[in-house]
Homo-oligomer: A and B are copies of this chain.
């Protein structure tokens, strides 16, 4: 069978169009020499490309292709199955928002569970909260953890916190076995719903999350782009509305290297003490303990927390029709 690289070469030589499946050879774009291009059926007809200085790592785990490269203007970049997961330049936006949106919405979170997030960035942010006593993380792919520790020390630094316990395994199974009512907060830092993360967008998983949370506990899950995936978001909102009897909200933020430049989060709470996600109860941005030990936050603050829940009208209409709070 013709290799991806050969197919791309042939297509170029013929002056014909290169189909998306032919474009990626060994994870690196074969059509823009020296650039990485992110092409996926999740965002057809568009691609973001970063100029590659050097490929630092390429591997194949039991679950996915793993690549790290040094880009010319975004620092080091982690790529899973051809999709950018983080760059050193803009990872602050995603990690800070997915963590502090839920944790600053409840008073004194003590037990936190992270599903996915093997790079350690969410752990780094969770550990800013001095109220936290226990952080469990369940990541399916050990290669992601190892690669992050080797190439992204400023992200993987989250693992150095003594409150953290790493579980390598399936997040779905981990949650099923978690004792009921254990966690104050669950953060689901998943990749897209194609590949190993697919189940993390489905109803049985959300049911397990609700079971593992205490009454009035909160979950924050990566929930795609309002510009690209309103149909997926609609389904998630619909599922969450049935399962989480506290409140169900959608927030979003800017991350330049994610498709369409934005990423969204579902924020839900279980029945119990009411959680008003739009009005944070804790100001981590001005917390002396956090600032002294970790330095100031780069992206998150209380105003951008509240602003993240304000949606463009086209998204608001769809989401509010599924989730009237």
Chain A interface residues (CB < 8 Å from chain B): 11-12, 15-18, 31-35, 37, 43-51, 71-74, 90, 92-93, 227-228, 252, 254-256, 258, 260-262, 285, 296-301, 303-304, 306-308, 310-314, 316
Contacts and interface: CB of A to CB of B under 8 A. Distances in A.
Contacts of A285: 313
B18 A32 contact: yes
A159 to B, nearest CB: 25
Nearest to A260: B256
A34 B50 contact: no
Give how many copies assemble into the complex: 2
Nearest to A92: B314
Contacts of A46: 48-51, 73-74
Nearest to A316: B301
Contacts of A92: 314
Given A31-B33, A90-B227, A255-B261, 8 more contacts: A11-B33, A32-B32, A45-B73, A46-B74, A297-B313, A301-B316, A303-B311, A307-B310
A282 to B, nearest CB: 16
Given A48-B48, A74-B45, A37 B33 contact: no
A31 B46 CA distance: 15
B18 A37 contact: no
A47 B35 contact: yes
B16 A44 contact: no
B45 A72 contact: yes
Contacts of A37: 32, 49
A18 B12 CA distance: 15
30 contacts: A11-B33, A16-B33, A17-B34, A18-B34, A31-B32, A32-B47, A37-B49, A43-B73, A44-B51, A45-B73, A46-B49, A46-B73, A47-B48, A48-B48, A48-B49, A49-B49, A90-B227, A92-B314, A227-B254, A254-B254, A256-B262, A258-B261, A261-B262, A298-B314, A299-B313, A303-B310, A303-B311, A304-B311, A304-B313, A307-B310
